[in-house]
Amino acid sequence: MNQFVVVANRLPVDAGPGGLVSALQPIARSSGGAWVGWTGNPDERPEPFEHEGVHIQPVELTGEDVDHYYEGQSNSTIWPLFHDAVEPPVHRRAWRVAYEAVNRRFAEATASVAAEGATVWVHDYQLLLVPGMLRRARPDLRIGFFLHIPFPPVELFMQLPRRTEFVRGLLGADLVGFQQPLAAQNFMRLTTQLLGLHPQGERVAYEGRTVTARAFPISIDVAEIEGLAADPEVQRDAAQLRKDLGGDRRLLLLGVDRLDYTKGIDQRIEAYGELLADGTISNDEAVLVQVATPSRMRVAQYQQLRERVEREVGRINGEFGDVGRVPLHYLFQSRTRAELVALYLAADIMLVTPLRDGMNLVAKEYVAARRDEGGALVLSEFTGAASELDDAFLVNPYDVDDLKRGIVAAIATGPEELTARMRRMRERVRAHDVDRWARDFLDVLG
């Protein structure tokens, strides 16, 4: 039996180094902990096993579960709704039934490995019902929940079928963590509107317990990113990328995103195309590199996005490019962490312009990688990162003119001011890394 249990959609096995795994695996290891999650392969039924000192408790998902619970309710209903309905959410009864069944499976697996009085930390939008289910099965547990994506305003959340069950699910936790204070406030307002509760600040009494809702802005493994940025091989790769992608051009702009409709890739490329069209920048002086990591390509909205982006990339390169020299390099592929850091080092201007994002760790990774205190960050004001990295050039990604203004401002700003801005952002990111985020959350959870 385990004193500390992490519950997440995916297991830390084969996940590679990442923020959540690097922060929580050492805690789980040192406290004799467990991790409950799915392997990522449908219809696989592995037995529990040990991985790097952590007990791994796999949860089986069938192919139908993946279609209904994961790609359906999680990624076609909850994901778009919680991201301001940038794309219309799809609501299907069969998906809701599967979501509830899979959440119950996760809760049962967790209850089976948690020691008496253990601390359980449940993560993200795929498992919103787990805290409530776990509370009913194991009232002795100390339960925390953290939502990595935005939490919508009340009027949007109210569209969700069986909305009250989701609020009750989250109230099963002792501590509900969000990226931003406004998200916690939205949640508290829902407890009043849907359940008639009476929150006092960030606390609300529910079924004889006190539930706390608070913001804990997530961060990155700064030491890992800085270590890669200092690696001579990564630095050589950065210099080679600069030469291969930019040639003799003065400016290299970079976007790195999952190919997702929330990331504002369409608008970013449109703004860049307009800057080329009106002569503000030219193919002789600037190049944009857009890395788009494949994501959820079985979902129709993602397939349509890919077609739109690739069509616009082709149009811009056809119109403004030259033989052997295009203004926009589009890479529809995954990159290793080291390859991403090399790109961060090569880029003069980083464009992080989602329409909505809980935090956006790419913005923080770019800042952490710039040990030289060089570069500029153009950042959407609709990211969680914007409240911390206010020395970035903040833009409204829905407004193509404002996107253009932000890019032009980053180009026009002198090196001394850019260095001062980057230094302040680096201080912020280094002081608030992912380890501090996890410690802060668990200290409050108790």
The catalytic site residues sit at: 148, 357
C-alpha 324/C-alpha 247 separation (Å) is: 10
Please report the sign of the dihedral spanned by the C-alpha atoms of residue 129, residue 133, residue 139, residue 140. negative
Alpha carbon distance 398, 355 (integer Å): 7
Q: Are 313 and 265 in contact (CB under 8 A)?
A: no
The pair of three-digit structure tokens given for residue 317, joined into one six-digit string? 């390169």
361: helix, strand or coil: helix
Separation of alpha carbons 205 and 86, rounded Å: 34
CB-based contact 125:169 (threshold 8 Å): no
The C-alpha atoms of residue 245 and residue 138 are separated, in whole angstroms, by: 56
Q: Rounded distance, CA 156 to CA 214, Å?
A: 20
In 3D, which of 303, 270, 304 has the Cα closest to residue 288? 270
DSSP state of 200: B
**Beta strands, E only, 47-158:** 49-51, 54-58, 114-123, 142-146
Q: Please, which residues bridge with residue 144 across strands? A: 121, 175
Q: Is 253 helix (H, G, I), strand (E, B) or coil?
A: strand
Dist. CA 21–CA 403, nearest whole Å: 34
Q: Take residue 46 and report the two structure tokens written for it.
A: 């592995």
Residue with tokens 């992608």: 245
Residue 287, phi then psi, degrees to nearest 5: -140, 140
H helices of 34-78, in order, are: 63-65
User: Rounded CA gap, 7 and 11, in Å?
Assistant: 9
- At residue 217, what is the residue type? P
Provide the CB-side half-sphere exposure for 340 (13 A, CA).
Answer: 26
**H-helix or E-strand spanning residue 380:** strand 376-380
Q: Say how far apart CA 293 and CA 295 lie, in whole Å.
A: 6
How far apart, in whole angstroms, are the C-alpha atoms of residue 217 and residue 383? 11
